[in-house]
A = this chain, B = another copy of it.
Amino acid sequence: MVGARQFDEQEVIAIALDVFWHKGLHDATMQDLASATGVQRGSLYNAYGDKEAIFLRAFDRYAEQFLASAGEALAHGDALTRLRTFLDMIVTNMTSGSPPRGCLTTRTALDAAISGDDVRARVLQLLARLERLIADALTAAPGKDAARDAGRLARIVVTFTRGLAVMERAGYSRKQLKDAAATFADAIAGDA
């Protein structure tokens, strides 16, 4: 390999992820990425081809981080505890940063109509993996009938988390979101 790359790819992708997280795939420009990473636009085109290619790498990084966090949050306690911990993590995650960065998956899903097939597929894939993770956690939880309908429950949990992401963008505070999440968890997994 001659004429080696002048920048650290891992670092560039990590920074790109941050840019996309705050601005979204659609609104982040190559210039935004160039400024944030300190790598010229031309170099980014040369190295990755286009913005979507960079996004896919960043999104993959994000997906792994996200699923890892979800897995941890869902690992301990009974069904209600797992759900509460998980939702808490979700809300904390989307209300972090200044300004709060929201949820990248949700933002990307909303732009699905104007995104490439690859992007759409990644979003669906992440949602599916998350759903499975939740279903498994509910099934594995000690307690009575938590495992019954774990699949169906997992889907509405995923759906509800997407709703939280929208409410965050609409302007609801971390506290309001956590309250709503707690109400939801109780209604779904609480001892009725």
Tell me the A residues contacting B by CB distance below 8 Å: 26-27, 99, 102, 106-107, 109-110, 112-114, 120, 123-124, 127, 149, 152-153, 155-156, 158-167, 169-171, 179-180, 183-184, 187-188, 192
Q: Copy number in this complex?
A: 2
- Contact check: which of B26, B107, B161 meets A163 at CB < 8 Å? B161
A156 touches B160 (CB 8 A): yes
B155 touches A183 (CB 8 A): yes
A180 touches B155 (CB 8 A): yes
Q: What B residues does A107 contact at CB under 8 A?
A: 110
12 A-B Cβ contacts within 8 A?
A106-B166, A109-B167, A109-B170, A110-B169, A152-B183, A155-B180, A156-B160, A159-B163, A160-B184, A162-B163, A162-B167, A165-B166
Task: Report whether over half of chain A's contact residues are helix, strand or loop; otherwise say mixed.
Answer: helix
- Contact check: which of B110, B159, B183 meets A164 at CB < 8 Å? B159
**Which residue, A110, A152, A167, has most C-beta atoms of chain B within 10 A?**
A110
Given the interface pairs A109-B170, A112-B170, A170-B112, the reply to whether A180 lies near B165 with Cβ below 8 Å is no
Q: What B residues does A27 contact at CB under 8 A?
A: 26, 114
Q: What B residues does A171 contact at CB under 8 A?
A: 112, 120, 123-124
Which chain B residue shows the least CB distance to A163?
B163
Q: What B residues does A156 contact at CB under 8 A?
A: 160, 180, 183-184, 187
Which chain B residue shows the least CB distance to A120?
B171
**Which residue, A112, A159, A179, A184, has most C-beta atoms of chain B within 10 A?**
A159
- Contact check: which of B112, B160, B188 meets A169 at CB < 8 Å? B112
Apart from A27-B114, A102-B113, A155-B183, 16 more pairs, CB < 8 Å:
A26-B27, A109-B169, A109-B170, A112-B169, A112-B170, A113-B169, A120-B170, A127-B167, A152-B180, A156-B160, A156-B184, A159-B184, A161-B163, A162-B162, A163-B163, A187-B187
